[in-house]
Amino acid sequence: MKLFGLTGGVGMGKSTAAGFLLRFGARVVDTDDIAQALVQPGQPARAEIAATFGKEILKAEGALDRAKLARLVFADESARKKLEAILHPRIRECWQAQVESWRQENCAVAVVVIPLLYETQAETHFDKIICVACSPDSQTERLKSRGWTPEQIRQRIAAQLPVAQKIARADFVIWTEGLPENSQRQLAKILGKT
């Protein structure tokens, strides 16, 4: 099985790229989806987060108030590190279990989408790394379209390794400016090289 790690800056097109890879027949798991599942009511990670940050980060029905937690952790690096210490080991365990399952099924190509791939030192687990990237202006516009304020955008970008460093360390770079079909063609070429 050929195993790819897919990374890139926030708002640069990782989900779109993952969708194209799925259409090409690759198996794909997104660590953002794993993280969302881990913080559902009844999950140990959600309980640990509430114990660490206080019950005020929970909604009335017990679900995690993700917006409130994001405001807290992106404004305070030590809080972000505490959250990462709770979530990152669990996230890694989940995606590694998924990859092992795909190996048992003899899948040809698998992809793990990890926004913080380099930040979590996960690169050694992959045969090749794909980085999606766009210009800073496009990134800002995409994040504004999510309803994020300039301060939220600045905080999210600052919380990640600069995209230029991700590009320099990746085996392949998908430039996500222009039509989505351009990215699709670039990804098709990469899979053709495997």
Instruction: Quote the DSSP letter at residue 64.
Output: B
Kindly report the pTM of this predicted structure.
0.93
Domains of the chain: 2-192 (3.40.50.300)
pLDDT at 187: 95
Which tokens go with 112?
Answer: 């793990």
With vertex at residue 158, the alpha carbon angle to CA 173 and CA 190, rounded to the nearest 5 degrees, is: 10
- Give per-residue pLDDT as tens, 141-172: 999 999 999 999 999 999 999 999 999 999 99
Residue for token pair 């190509």: 109
Q: What is the DSSP string of 139-183?
A: HHHHHHTTT--HHHHHHHHHTS--HHHHHHH-SEEEE--S-HHHH
- Per-residue pLDDT of 83-106, as tens digits, reads 999 999 999 999 999 999 999 999
| Neighbour-count burial of 10, counting CB atoms closer than 10 A to its CB (0-12 exposed, 13-18 middle, 19+ buried) | middle
